[in-house]
């Protein structure tokens, strides 16, 4: 057993919805942003602030999507099997304390982690 870290953090089901500019993808993005806006307004956030929040969330998710591998790239077992020692992973992402994170995730005592997309981290 070995912990594995993967890409994620987006609300839409595929990174391409954020990155493609075809008519359908644009419509999906607009509907998704409207949905996020609606969620904020349902919790009592004023409309202007809800719109601002929705745009900020979408911008963050789009940045995450741009760093993700495509569905086809994710099928490549050689590309997605990247073994890191916990120390090496910490050097790759110095702002994240992986020893502490792994303990929080109840995966303490690990010296090695698999990362499917190192550039995403």
Give me the phi and psi of 100, to 5 degrees please.
Answer: -70, -40
Identify the domain containing residue 88 by its residue range: 4-115
Answer whether residue 110 is part of any domain.
Answer: yes
Q: The pTM is what?
A: 0.86
Answer whether residue 37 is part of any domain.
Answer: yes
**Total structural domains within the chain:** 1
pLDDT band at residue 109 using 50, 70 and 90 as cut-offs: confident
Dump pLDDT digits (tens) for 61-98. 999 999 999 999 999 999 999 999 999 999 999 999 99
Answer whether residue 121 is part of any domain.
Answer: no
Sheet holding 82-85, edge to edge: 4-5, 112-115, 82-85
Amino acid 108: pLDDT: 83
In the three-class reduction of DSSP (H, G, I as helix; E, B as strand; rest coil), residue 82 is classed as: strand
Answer whether residue 120 is part of any domain.
Answer: no
């Amino acid at each position: 057993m070995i912990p594995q870290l993967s890409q994620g953090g987006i609300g839409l089901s595929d990174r391409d919805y954020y990155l493609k500019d075809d008519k359908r993808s644009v419509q999906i993005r607009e509907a998704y942003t409207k949905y996020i806006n609606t969620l904020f307004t349902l919790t009592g956030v004023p409309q202007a602030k809800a719109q601002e929040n929705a745009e900020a969330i979408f911008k963050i998710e789009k940045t995450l999507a741009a760093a993700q591998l495509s569905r086809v790239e994710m099928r490549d077992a050689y590309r997605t099997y990247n073994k890191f020692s916990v120390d090496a992973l910490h050097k790759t992402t110095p702002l994240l304390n992986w020893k502490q994170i792994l303990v929080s995730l109840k995966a303490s005592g690990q010296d090695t982690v698999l990362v499917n997309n190192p550039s995403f981290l």
